[in-house]
């Protein structure tokens, strides 16, 4: 019999809605099961915790070969480049999530934090993008290096989304 998972560390590197939500759902689910959860936001994943960007995440339609139209028809990749397509897809996805009672990003991050989940920003990326701690939502514990992330992740299952 496999040993139960006690700790997960989730790396969030994509800043689109479909890149951020899997990490938030997994972290929230972990906390609901009593599993420690750490989220490490890097590169464009930082958009999910940057205070003035986190409410404006959108669906990436260009280059998304898995994109489906209402009714399940596969959307040709070239259609993703049509002006307004990302906004349309984002509106549709948010509508579906609202019907399923899935909270918006900001609220989800607050829930995870309030449940004991830890949120960190990647120092190298923060420096590269010329950001500062004040740019982030209050739930971000601190800005840490990759080495510090590995230290905090000792004994955890590391998941990349």
Proportion of the chain above pLDDT 90, given as a percent: 69
Q: Mean pLDDT, to the nearest integer, of 33-38?
A: 98
* Mean pLDDT value of segment 63-70: 65
What's the mean pLDDT in 121-150? 98
pLDDT at 118 over 70: yes
Identify the domain containing residue 39 by its residue range.
1-55+106-161
Q: Same structural domain for residues 51 and 68?
A: no
pLDDT at residue 152 in the model:
97
* H-helix segments, 68-139: 85-99, 105-114, 123-128
Q: Which tokens sit at 53?
A: 């960007």
Burial (CB count <10 Å: 0-12, 13-18, 19+), residue 101: exposed
Question: What CATH number is given to the structural domain containing 131?
Answer: 3.40.1260.10
């Amino acid at each position: 019999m496999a040993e139960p998972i006690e700790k997960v560390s989730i790396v969030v590197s994509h800043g689109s809605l479909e890149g951020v939500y899997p990490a938030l759902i997994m972290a929230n689910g972990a906390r609901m099961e009593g599993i420690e959860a750490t989220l490490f936001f890097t590169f464009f994943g930082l958009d999910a915790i940057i205070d003035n960007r986190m409410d404006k995440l959108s669906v990436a339609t260009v280059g998304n070969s898995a994109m489906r139209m209402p009714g399940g028809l596969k959307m040709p990749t070239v259609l993703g480049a049509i002006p307004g397509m990302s906004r349309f897809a984002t509106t549709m996805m948010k509508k579906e999530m609202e019907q399923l009672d899935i909270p918006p990003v900001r609220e989800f991050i607050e829930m995870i934090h309030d449940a004991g989940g830890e949120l960190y920003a990647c120092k190298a990326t923060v420096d590269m993008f010329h950001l500062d701690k004040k740019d982030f939502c209050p739930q971000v514990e601190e800005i840490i290096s990759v080495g510090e992330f590995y230290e905090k992740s000792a004994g955890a299952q590391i998941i990349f989304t």
